[in-house]
Amino acid sequence: MNLTLHVWRQKNARDKGRMVRYEAKDVNPHMSILEMLDVVNEQLTLQGINPIAFDHDCREGICGMCSLMVNGIAHGPEPGTTVCQLHMRHFKDGDTIYIEPWRARAFPVIKDLIVDRSALDRIIQAGGFVSINTGGAPDGNAIPVPKDAAETAMDAAACIGCGACVASCKNASAMLFVAAKVSHLANLPQGKAEAHERVRQMVAQMDAEGFGGCTNYFECEAVCPKEISVRFIAQMNREFMTASVRKLTTAAAAKSSGFG
Amino acid sequence: MKLESKVPSGPLAEKWDKHKFELKLVNPANKRKFHVIVVGSGLAGASAAASLAELGYTVSCFCYQDSPRRAHSIAAQGGINAAKNYQNDGDSVYRLFYDTIKGGDFRSREANVYRLAQLSTAIIDQCVAQGVPFAREYGGTLANRSFGGALVSRTFYARGQTGQQLLLGAYSALSRQIGKGQVQMFTRSEMLDLVLVNGHAKGIIVRDMVSGQITSHSADAVVLATGGYSNVYFLSTNAKGCNVTAIYRAYKKGALMANPCYIQIHPTCIPVSGDYQSKLTLMSESLRNDGRIWVPKTAGDKRPPNQIPESERDYYLERKYPTYGNLAPRDISSRAAKEVCDAGCGVGETRQGVYLDFSDAIKRLGAHVIAERYGNLFHMYEKITGENPYEVPMRIYPAPHYTMGGLWVDYNLESNIPGLFVLGEANFSDHGANRLGASALMQGLADGYFVIPYTIGDYFARTGPGRPSTDHAEFKAAEKEVQEKTRKLLSINGRRTVDSFHRELGKIMWEYCGMGRNESGLRKALSAIPALRAEFHQDVKVPGENEELNQSLERAGRLADFLEFAELMCHDALQRNESCGGHFREEYQTKEGEAQRNDAEFCYVSCWEYGGAGQAPILHKEPLEFETVHLAQRSYK
């Protein structure tokens, strides 16, 4: 099949960037869209044109590195699929495909289709963990975890941190990403002890990074390659409210008892 | 060169405890004075960086991805072994040790493997405490599944995403230390050289992959946890960025490369479909718990699988290995698949494939149980192939997956260069000539959480703090050399792309140094590789500049190292005149076509020393001494 591509080209963070048209000829329907770009890049290289830069690594849908808007949809039109697993059999001969980077204030473009997602790492660094040092952990079976709690935690923990939720949200909100980590740990006994501190720190960092708020459009859930549910956002909101009230009441109690 | 394994004396089961007591300690107040560089942020690297930072050491951690969470450990699917014996089915530390030694075809170091089995149980506890959502039974206890090469159920798992969940556990521990400022993280940073000062590893040269800037970083010790080199075959189950550069450049600085020819070809991968293909995708070995492997009995049978009656199917693993059946170890299963395909019984368009069929399990357990166990794998298979494995059997074929070889290390995981420690897949230490399923995660985490925190302290206590300045002449010389290499690659401006060379190298290696090897093939490869390398350095086209994000340049640098390393692999395969594990020399096989070891002559680790540019590498041998285990012909019948 033959396709027309319109691809975002931007030399570096300072460059303004623009869409550039390329023709992709004799595309095999079994290729992934990244393999199609590989072939285009081979041709560009031989023509002396700088190839299109895009992030990718595992190419099996789990590392979370690939990050393309395809025809305006994060990771393209197939639900529950990262763009590295989007195969050309889902397109038709003669199609025009628009390929752009994630767009969000918190994800500045580095080059072409590559953006900086380090804001997501900083949110995790602010509290997305259980504070336990290596060594001295109790036996794995010492604390039973109900099967449904473990399954729910796993549903949330499946997040690959790709940032598609942010890219697809009109507010560039990272709520689904943050909610996935908050809920993963809040559903397990191991994460409970510091659940309040965790959610407050992570939300504060999320706000500091310039992500927007959630206005319940649920685009994030629609594009999430791991199909993470927005009900985790509800859980995070609940956790956050409880944590905030708890903080206020503890502060008031401490003040009245003279330990403020 | 004298190779000291530093294996402690005494009974096998007491060696590690005794050794831990003998290792020197660093005063807690002095730990912050020691700087450690950790290269790689996978299971081994992230767990090491986090654990060392928790102890109080000052850590810098480097990865080439945009986040430490993306290291390729994340793609491990099936599970992690541990000798918990929660199933009451006869497991023990000794049995896990023995299975691993036997699985590795008696080509690994006994004491290291025993320690690995001992530490396995603490890993599970640690990961549970971090909040890793392992699969649970209804009573809330941890669930287990079976894996190849074992007759007990000792594999812990989180759906088909165990590697992801374990890595996110290690990543969260690492993130906690980054947040505290105890670890400085360098992402999109590629190590391009190791720097030695007075014979000790004291730093690295790094290219910032966004700006192209080349900088020096100094430390009191360097830890490499940079994974394996399966991408020498171009097509493998590794991530596109996985490479040999860090360990190869360390080799060129004097570190010994051990057993480079020991490669694991994984039996259950989605077959190659065309020339454009950029990588191969693994289907977890755990699928062999419920899937049955077969091919048509008649060569060239092109009927669709559901029209081939039971009596005309050859369930060849069940036929050849009745005891282990579909759970025969990886090397044996892969060779068996090659054998039936070579005999013309392969399936699919290319005839390079075998069926992995779930219809019996679906009949027995129901589709919902199979979906719960393997849902995400079935989903992934369908996305790639466009076929529904609930209805049509999967087609699978072996593919390069894991490299047992790597830098030589002693019992402390220290290489022959003092202060250079190597962890996880990047070292050679625990898997011998073949790795059992669900053991890579175990080894990466054992090394990072529970070995390096002890052994690095001993090195520091003996040497004292005092990292050199990056103005030191050794750093300046290494920086210059790296810049010169980069400049050369960019200036060739030839007619062929980097990937076209890489694909060609991959074909040579797959043909002559893949699942089956023989002397004449290896000699062919040893003349083809230098020719290809020469052509690469004359005719490669690397567009763009150094001072920018340049993915072609990154790939060219990695390929330049693969083009040298491939030759070393072939030298190693050629000198080892025996078959063992994943190294199958066609000249050395039993009457039944199984690997024929030669313990009298080859019961050693081959350790290669860089001989200089254009010179042959120099072979050293570490004899493998077995104090407890009796060497036997491996049998899974």
Q: Is A33 on the interface with B (CB under 8 A)?
A: no
**Mind telling me how many Å the CA of B362 is from chain A's nearest CA?**
22
Contact at CB, B133 and A153, closer than 8 angstroms: yes
Q: Find chain B residues with C-beta within 8 A of A141's C-beta.
A: 86, 141-142
Q: Strand A18-24 and strand A3-9: pairing?
A: antiparallel
Mean of the per-residue pLDDT values of chain B: 96
Q: Which of residues 164-183 of A touch B (CB under 8 A)?
A: none
Tokens of residue B146, six digits? 């079976």
What value does the mean pLDDT take over residues B44-70? 98
Q: Find chain B residues with C-beta within 8 A of A34's C-beta.
A: 278
Contact at CB, B131 and A188, closer than 8 angstroms: yes
The torsion angles phi and psi of A165, rounded to 5 degrees, stand at -60, -40
Q: Which of residues 54-113 of A touch B (CB under 8 A)?
A: 55-65, 78, 80-81, 85, 87, 89, 110-111
pLDDT for B403 beyond 60: yes
Contact at CB, A134 and B541, closer than 8 angstroms: no
pLDDT of residue A258: 64
Size of interface A-B (CB pairs under 8 A): 213
pLDDT of residue B635: 83
Q: Which of the residues B330, B335, B373, B467 is marked catalytic?
A: B330
The Cα B282–Cα B269 span in angstroms is: 4
Q: Which of A26, A44, A58 to mutate to test the interface with B (most CBs of B within 10 A)?
A: A58
Question: Tens of pLDDT along B430-469?
Answer: 999 999 999 999 999 999 999 999 999 999 999 999 999 9
Contact at CB, B497 and A45, closer than 8 angstroms: yes
Q: In the beta sheet, which residues pair with residue A70?
A: A73, A99
Give the residue among B346, B322, B347, B317 at the shortest CA–CA distance from B332.
Answer: B317
- Collapsing DSSP to helix, strand or coil, A112 comes out as coil
Band (B383; pLDDT cuts 50, 70, 90): confident
- E strand or H helix that includes residue B502: helix B498-512
Contact at CB, A191 and B126, closer than 8 angstroms: no
pLDDT for B494 beyond 90: yes
Contact at CB, A145 and B136, closer than 8 angstroms: yes
Tokens of residue B376, six digits? 């995400």
Angular region, B464: left φ>0, alpha ψ -120 to 50, beta rest: left
Q: Which of B61, B65, B70 to mutate to test the interface with A (most CBs of A within 10 A)?
A: B70
CB-closest option in A38, A116, A184 to B278: A38
What value does the mean pLDDT take over residues B119-143? 97
The residues, ordered by sequence, that sit 6+ positions from B600 with a Cβ below 8 Å of its Cβ are none
- Collapsing DSSP to helix, strand or coil, B83 comes out as coil
Q: Looking at chain B, which residue has its C-alpha nearest residue A26?
A: B276
Q: Which of residues 200-259 of A touch B (CB under 8 A)?
A: none
Q: In what order do the strands lie in the sheet with B292-296?
A: B263-269, B394-403, B354-357, B292-296, B313-314
Q: Looking at chain A, which residue has its C-alpha nearest residue B68?
A: A121
**Mind telling me how many Å the CA of B67 is from chain A's nearest CA?**
7
Contact at CB, B122 and A135, closer than 8 angstroms: yes
The Cα B100–Cα B440 span in angstroms is: 11
Q: Find chain B residues with C-beta within 8 A of A39's C-beta.
A: 276
CB-closest option in A59, A125, A147 to B278: A59
The DSSP code for B230 is G
pLDDT for B618 beyond 60: yes
pLDDT of residue B351: 93
Q: What percent of chain B has pLDDT over 70?
A: 100
pLDDT of residue A259: 55
- E strand or H helix that includes residue B556: helix B551-575
Band (A251; pLDDT cuts 50, 70, 90): confident
pLDDT of residue B506: 97
Contact at CB, A124 and B497, closer than 8 angstroms: no
CB-closest option in B137, B543, B549 to A110: B549
Q: Find chain B residues with C-beta within 8 A of A124's C-beta.
A: 69, 171-172, 175
The pTM (predicted TM-score) of the whole model is: 0.97
Question: Tens of pLDDT along B506-545?
Answer: 999 999 999 999 999 999 999 999 999 999 999 999 999 9
Q: Which of A10, A134, A205 to mutate to test the interface with B (most CBs of B within 10 A)?
A: A134
Band (B76; pLDDT cuts 50, 70, 90): very high
Contact call for residues B558 and B243 (beta carbons, < 8 A): yes
Q: Find chain A residues with C-beta within 8 A of B156's C-beta.
A: 140
Q: Greater confidence, B314 or A260?
A: B314
The Cα B439–Cα B110 span in angstroms is: 15
pLDDT of residue A252: 85
Q: Looking at chain A, which residue has its C-alpha nearest residue B385?
A: A30
Q: Looking at chain A, which residue has its C-alpha nearest residue B74?
A: A63
Q: What angle do CA B161, B164, B170 make, to 5 degrees?
A: 145
Q: Looking at chain A, which residue has its C-alpha nearest residue B168?
A: A157
Q: Find chain B residues with C-beta within 8 A of A153's C-beta.
A: 131, 133
Residue B107 is among the residues annotated as catalytic for this protein: no
pLDDT for A89 beyond 50: yes
Q: Which of A107, A121, A182 to mutate to test the interface with B (most CBs of B within 10 A)?
A: A121
Contact at CB, A125 and B541, closer than 8 angstroms: no
Q: Which of residues 123-152 of A touch B (CB under 8 A)?
A: 124-135, 137-141, 143-147, 150
What value does the mean pLDDT take over residues B271-289? 90
Q: Which of B85, B174, B188, B278 to mutate to test the interface with A (most CBs of A within 10 A)?
A: B278
Question: Tens of pLDDT along A144-162?
Answer: 999 999 999 999 999 999 9
Question: Tens of pLDDT along B192-209?
Answer: 999 999 999 999 999 999
Q: Find chain A residues with C-beta within 8 A of B54's C-beta.
A: 133-134
Contact at CB, A145 and B158, closer than 8 angstroms: no
What value does the mean pLDDT take over residues A205-228? 97
Question: Tens of pLDDT along A25-62?
Answer: 999 999 999 999 999 999 999 999 999 999 999 999 99
Q: In the beta sheet, which residues pair with residue B39?
A: B62, B224
pLDDT of residue A260: 45
Give the residue among A171, A185, A163, A162 at the shortest CA–CA distance from A232.
Answer: A185
pLDDT of residue B633: 84
Give the residue among A229, A242, A48 at the shortest CA–CA distance from A156.
Answer: A229
Contact at CB, A60 and B279, closer than 8 angstroms: yes
CB-closest option in A38, A125, A190 to B131: A190
Separation of CA B494 from chain center: 34
Contact at CB, B278 and A120, closer than 8 angstroms: no
pLDDT of residue A88: 96
Contact at CB, A121 and B449, closer than 8 angstroms: no
Q: Strand B80-81 and strand B155-156: pairing?
A: antiparallel
pLDDT for B19 beyond 90: yes
CB-closest option in A50, A138, A185 to B543: A50
The Cα B133–Cα A57 span in angstroms is: 25
Contact at CB, B69 and A34, closer than 8 angstroms: no
Tokens of residue B592, six digits? 């039944």
Tokens of residue B470, six digits? 């990056």
pLDDT for A11 beyond 90: yes
pLDDT of residue B118: 98
Question: Tens of pLDDT along B542-599?
Answer: 999 999 999 999 999 999 999 999 999 999 999 999 999 999 999 999 998 889 999 9
Contact at CB, B129 and A124, closer than 8 angstroms: no
Q: What percent of chain A has pLDDT over 70?
A: 99
